[in-house]
């Protein structure tokens, strides 16, 4: 079981990630064919959150994304009265 298994599917669908890398001071979309060491950032499809690290490790940015998704799930639970 991974931490992502704790996030409900409807939250994952509403909060899809779009990954970016930093190259030469420029933020460019990440593609599957990219290899090498990059600084990462991510934006969420909800439109209200992005990491804005300026190029951190993928793991630390993924952790921040997970925190955002979990917060959104907790907020949805509060609004539903659970």
Give the integer Cα–Cα distance in Å for 60 and 38: 13
* 29-68 tens-digit pLDDT: 999 999 988 999 999 999 999 999 999 999 999 999 999 9
Q: Is the Cβ–Cβ distance between 62 and 2 less than 8 Å?
A: no
* 61-74 tens-digit pLDDT: 999 999 999 999 99
Under the banding of pLDDT at 50, 70 and 90, the label for residue 3 is confident
Domain that holds residue 34: 3-80
Phi-psi region of 73 (alpha: psi -120 to 50; beta: other; left: phi over 0): alpha
- pLDDT at 82 exceeding the cut of 80: no
Count: domains in the chain: 1
- pLDDT at 21 exceeding the cut of 90: yes
């Amino acid at each position: 079981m991974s931490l992502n298994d704790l996030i409900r599917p409807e939250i994952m669908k509403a909060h899809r990630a779009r990954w970016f890398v930093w190259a030469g001071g420029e933020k460019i979309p990440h593609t599957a064919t990219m290899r090498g060491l990059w600084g990462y950032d991510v934006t969420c499809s909800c439109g209200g959150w992005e990491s804005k690290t300026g190029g951190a490790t993928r793991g630390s940015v993924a952790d921040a994304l997970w925190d955002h998704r979990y917060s959104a799930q907790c907020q949805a639970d509060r609004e539903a009265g659970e």
